[in-house]
Amino acid sequence: MTLLEVIDLWIAYDRINAVRGVSFAVGEGEIVTLIGANGAGKSTILRAISGLLPAARGSITFAGEDLLSLPAHLRTQRGIAHVPEGRGIFGNLTVLENLRLAAYGRSQAQFRQDLREVYRLFPRLAERRQQWGNTLSGGEQQMLAVGRALMSRGRLLLLDEPSMGLAPMLVREIFKVIQRLNRQGATILLVEQNANLALEVAHRAYILENGEIFLSGPSRELQHHPRVQEAYLGG
Ligand code: ATP
């Protein structure tokens, strides 16, 4: 079943078209990645899906429902969880408070259950639960950002550059968690500059250049595509 469908999406900053006629779909249970160089329009697309930016033209549907007519908070309620580039955690709240806030509106029992799961995935967060967000390392902040998306019970996780600024070992760890979440049922739309890793974990990929999709297909096929190897895989 198609969970997210984007058709002929156009997004502009002032008069500059950052995204031009982009169409793609994410099926329930899939990991789909949007790959592209700096400035290709990847983050802009995620912002339009979560409602942080308006679309100039086109349509976005989620589980059959038109998203563009919904304000951002209702999209969150529908199950869209955005982990933005730069992580978007609260530096002056503790780890536990950050997680509690993300679970706002849910019962205490559900909160405890999900908290156990987040701490199981990220033992480091359990160790640091009373520490302020802004005292965490970059990797720990990234874990907290993903943890917050889990606490919100996202049905679709929008992950923007989860590898950014992280040491290679932590990057591996984060990508393992992404795969584990997916096995547990989460659908994931992953934006990455690290094309190698993204193609390893994703089922399908779309390659963006200058705001347009120029290539798409199963990750395994794209890994061997000459244009992709040349431009993104250093091959
Ligand atoms: P990055 O990895 O750098 O985030 P990206 O593929 O996510 O790259 P976007 O951030 O979506 O790219 O940017 C797409 C285009 O829109 C770029 O040309 C960028 O300069 C422009 N852009 C992004 N944000 C703004 C903004 N707030 N105001 C004006 N132009 C913007």
Query: To the nearest whole percent, how much of the chain has pLDDT over 90?
Result: 58
Does the pLDDT of residue 79 top 80, yes or no?
Answer: yes
Quick one: tokens of 196? Answer: 């190698």
Q: 60 by DSSP, 3-state: which?
A: strand
Asked if 4 contacts 189 with a C-beta cutoff of 8 angstroms, the reply is: yes
For the cut 70, the answer to whether the pLDDT of residue 148 exceeds it is: yes
DSSP letters for 46-78: HHHHHTSS--SEEEEEETTEE-TTS-HHHHHHH
- What global pTM score does this model have? 0.90
How would CATH label the architecture of 2-232? 3-Layer(aba) Sandwich (3.40)
pLDDT band at 84 (very low <50, low <70, confident <90, very high): confident
Q: Cα separation of 149 and 80, whole Å?
A: 9
Q: Is the pLDDT of residue 49 over 70?
A: yes
Q: What b-and-e string marks burial along 130-163, b requiring 16 or more CB atoms within 10 Å of the CB? A: eeebeebeebbbbbbbbbbbbbbebbbbbbbbbb
Among 9, 10, 13, 163, which residue has the most ligand 1 atoms within 8 Å of its CB, making it the best to mutate?
A: 13
Distance from Cα 45 to the centre of ligand 1, integer Å:
10
Nearest atom within ligand 1 for CA of residue 47: 11
The pLDDT, as a whole number, for residue 235 is: 56
- The protein residue whose alpha carbon is closest to atom 25 in ligand 1 is 13
